[in-house]
């Protein structure tokens, strides 16, 4: 019967059972004794299965001996105990059909050796075949499933928020425009501005930077909701943590305060770390061996510890008194830079920190003003090695306070009519956060660059494939 390699290697079949596996050659070795060992992988697990191919097969000389990495094959044979080390089972092949050859093995770009990450990015269509990208793909999938399962178990509804939007949630002006207007022949108003009333949606539209404002509407009716979808930022940051297109998970909870969603975030992270440790032990062992020796111990430690909570104001004091000189000077009111975040998470605490209550002037308009009138109920979760992986807040549920914030930030009240309605009709305290999915995958695997944990990275100057 047709078998996936994971089932063969995990002992789902008995010795002597006949199975057929379909996949690609990872490596091949011919022995002097006139047999060949062909390692075949099919993506179902990290390991390849070894097919032991005897010389008396009719296509042994003509085909088997010519097999190279990446040829596609269908192997039928019986399950046997493996003499070699590493695996318990192998397949004694009774037939090997070659489905696809590799044109010129000497110039095949994914030859089985270590390639740099930069090199692999140039082959986004072929890199899924490498061990490392196979492992990333399975871990990414495991994390996504675990996120959905976590929220489902806690009674959250998954809400699909729009990708095309008229509002700039974060107010940072980093939006990609969506338009069907003819760039060479733009319609103009009398004042000479581009006339977006002639555009597809009769208005200016963009790719969303966050589903938060939309998901708040569902939160204020269904209590516990979340989004999990693509978001877009046209920020020109060429760093290992920024993508122009990334996936974000944004839960939103009614009748919840900041501390409640800080706890939710901690529970969620621990849940998904545990899931990866249990379900993808094979891939995590590879990351620990080849990418980051702490990959497994770090997650285990997170699962077992309790995250440190710290106020922004205290963090500033720590940074000022730590005796270290930073490139960007530290004073109350600054937007913390990556060097500051890393010092706090890596050197001061050595574990993830939930940093809370930031100055209002560096945060978005929708965050709830604290009693002190200077700070807002915001939180960021900073992880060692990567910095911010989560940003969230309690939302301003008081209409008068929200209006004051909109005005202070030079935003037009009329543009937020629907958002203000939530505060006019049965307002409730509510809170939520956003988890950058690629930053999470990068943290879990130890892969140092978010470009290597999303199948087709979009960064400045790069949207091929």
As measured in angstroms, the least distance from the Cβ of 403 to ligand 4AD is: 20
Site residues (CB under 6 A) for ligand 4AD, limited to 364-423: 388-393
* Total residues at interface with ligand 4AD (CB under 6 A): 24
**Between residue 117 and residue 176, which ones bind ligand 4AD under the rule CB under 6 A?**
169-170
Residues pairing with 165 in the sheet: 206
Among 212, 356, 375, 394, binds ligand 4AD (CB under 6 A): 212
Question: Which tokens sit at 1?
Answer: 């019967």
* Angle, CA of 383, 386 and 389, to the nearest 5°: 60
Residue 195 · residue 187 · CB < 8 Å: yes
Q: Is 457 in the site for Mg ion (CB under 5 A)?
A: no
Note whether 434 binds ligand 4AD by CB under 6 A. yes
Angle at CA 93, nearest 5°, toward 87 and 94? 160
Q: Tell me the Cα Rg of the chain.
A: 27
Q: How many CB atoms within 10 Å of residue 349?
A: 16
Q: For ligand 4AD, give the closer residue by CB, 112 or 448.
A: 448
- Does 442 help bind ligand 4AD (rule: CB under 6 A)? no
3 state DSSP class of 164: strand
User: In 3-state terms, what secondary structure has residue 61?
Assistant: coil
Instruction: State yes or no: residue 433 binds ligand 4AD (CB under 6 A).
Output: yes
76 or 210: CB nearest ligand 4AD: 210
Q: Which stretch binds ligand 4AD (CB under 6 A): 50-58, 156-164, 397-405, 426-434?
A: 426-434
Q: How far apart are CA 436 and CA 232, in angstroms?
A: 11
Q: Which residue in 319, 401, 311, 392 sits closest to 356, CA to CA?
A: 311
Answer with the entry of ligand 4AD, Mg ion, none that 242 interacts with (C-beta below 5 to 8 A by kind). Answer: ligand 4AD
What is the nearest approach in angstroms of Mg ion to the Cβ of residue 231?
Answer: 12
CB of 20 to Mg ion, least distance (A): 50
Q: Which of 369, 438, 445, 452 binds ligand 4AD (CB under 6 A)?
A: 438
Tell me which of Mg ion, ligand 4AD, none is bound by residue 439, counting a contact when its beta carbon lies within the kind-specific cut-off of 5 to 8 angstroms.
Answer: ligand 4AD
Q: Which residues pair with 354 in a beta bridge?
A: 309, 381
What CA–CA distance (Å, rounded) separates 28 from 51?
9
- Site for Mg ion, residues 376 to 405, rule: CB under 5 A: 391
Rounded alpha-carbon distances, angstroms, from residue 249 to 230, 437, 439: 9, 7, 11
- Would you say 260 or 388 has its CB closer to ligand 4AD? 388
CA distance 425 to 269: 34
Give every strand in the sheet of 308-311, ordered side by side: 157-158, 224-232, 245-254, 430-436, 387-394, 375-383, 353-359, 308-311
Q: CB 159 → Mg ion: shortest distance, Å?
A: 21
- In degrees and rounded to multiples of 5, residue 396 shows phi and psi of -75, 110
Q: From the list 23, 352, 384, 436, which residue makes contact with ligand 4AD (rule: CB under 6 A)? A: 436
Shortest Å distance, C-beta 200 to Mg ion: 31
Partner from Mg ion, ligand 4AD, none contacting 459, C-beta within 5 to 8 A by type: none
- Give CA separation, 146 vs 53, 121, 207, 236, 448, in Å: 40, 27, 27, 32, 22
Binder of residue 212, out of Mg ion, ligand 4AD, none (CB less than 5 to 8 A by kind): ligand 4AD
170 binds, options Mg ion, ligand 4AD, none, Cβ within 5 to 8 A by partner type: ligand 4AD
Binding residues for ligand 4AD restricted to 235-254, rule: CB under 6 A: 235, 242-243, 246, 248, 250
Asked if 233 interacts with ligand 4AD (CB under 6 A), we say yes
Residue placing its CB nearer to ligand 4AD in the complex, 257 or 388: 388
Q: How many CB atoms lie within 10 A of CB 203?
A: 9
**Residues binding ligand 4AD (CB under 6 A):** 169-170, 210, 212, 233, 235, 242-243, 246, 248, 250, 388-393, 432-434, 436, 438-439, 450
């Amino acid at each position: 019967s047709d078998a996936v390699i994971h089932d063969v290697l995990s002992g789902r079949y008995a010795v002597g059972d006949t199975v057929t596996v379909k996949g690609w050659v990872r490596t091949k070795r011919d022995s002097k004794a006139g047999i060949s060992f062909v390692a075949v992988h099919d993506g179902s697990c990290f390991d390849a299965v070894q097919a032991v191919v005897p010389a008396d097969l009719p296509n042994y000389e003509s085909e088997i001996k010519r097999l190279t990495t990446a040829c596609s094959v269908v192997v039928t044979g019986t399950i046997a105990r493996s003499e070699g080390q590493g695996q318990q089972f192998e397949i004694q092949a009774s037939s090997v059909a070659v489905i696809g050859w590799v044109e010129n093995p000497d110039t095949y770009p994914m030859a089985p050796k270590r390639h740099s990450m930069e090199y692999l990015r140039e082959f986004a269509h072929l890199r899924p075949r490498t061990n490392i990208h196979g492992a990333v793909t399975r871990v990414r999938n495991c994390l996504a499933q675990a996120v959905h399962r976590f929220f489902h178990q806690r009674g959250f509804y998954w809400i699909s928020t729009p990708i095309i939007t008229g509002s700039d949630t974060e107010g940072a002006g980093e939006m990609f425009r969506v338009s069907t207007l003819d760039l060479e022949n733009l319609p103009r108003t009398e004042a000479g501005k581009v006339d977006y009333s002639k555009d597809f949606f009769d208005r200016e539209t963009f790719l969303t930077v966050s589903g938060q404002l939309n998901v708040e509407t569902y939160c204020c009716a269904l209590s516990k909701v979340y989004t999990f979808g693509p978001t877009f930022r046209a920020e020109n940051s060429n760093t290992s943590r920024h993508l122009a297109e990334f996936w974000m998970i944004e839960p939103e909870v009614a009748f919840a305060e900041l501390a409640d969603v800080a706890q939710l975030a901690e529970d969620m992270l621990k849940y998904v770390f545990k899931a990866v440790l249990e379900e993808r032990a094979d891939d995590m062992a590879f990351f620990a061996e080849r990418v980051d020796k702490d990959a497994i111990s770090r997650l285990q430690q997170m699962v077992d510890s309790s995250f440190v909570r710290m106020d922004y104001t205290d963090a500033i004091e720590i940074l000022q008194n730590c005796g270290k000189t930073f490139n960007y000077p530290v004073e109350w009111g600054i937007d913390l830079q990556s060097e500051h975040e890393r010092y706090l998470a890596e050197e001061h605490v050595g574990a993830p920190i939930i940093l809370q209550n930031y100055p209002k002037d560096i945060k978005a308009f929708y965050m709830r003003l604290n009693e002190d009138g200077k700070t807002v109920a915001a939180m960021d979760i900073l992880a060692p090695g990567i910095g911010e992986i989560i940003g969230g807040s309690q939302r301003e549920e008081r209409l008068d306070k929200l209006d004051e914030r909109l005005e202070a930030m030079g935003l037009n009240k009329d543009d937020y009519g629907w958002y203000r309605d939530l505060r006019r009709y049965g307002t409730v305290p509510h809170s939520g956060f956003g988890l950058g999915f690629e930053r999470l995958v990068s943290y879990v695997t130890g892969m140092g660059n978010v470009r290597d944990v999303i199948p087709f990275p979009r960064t400045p100057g790069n949207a091929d494939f």
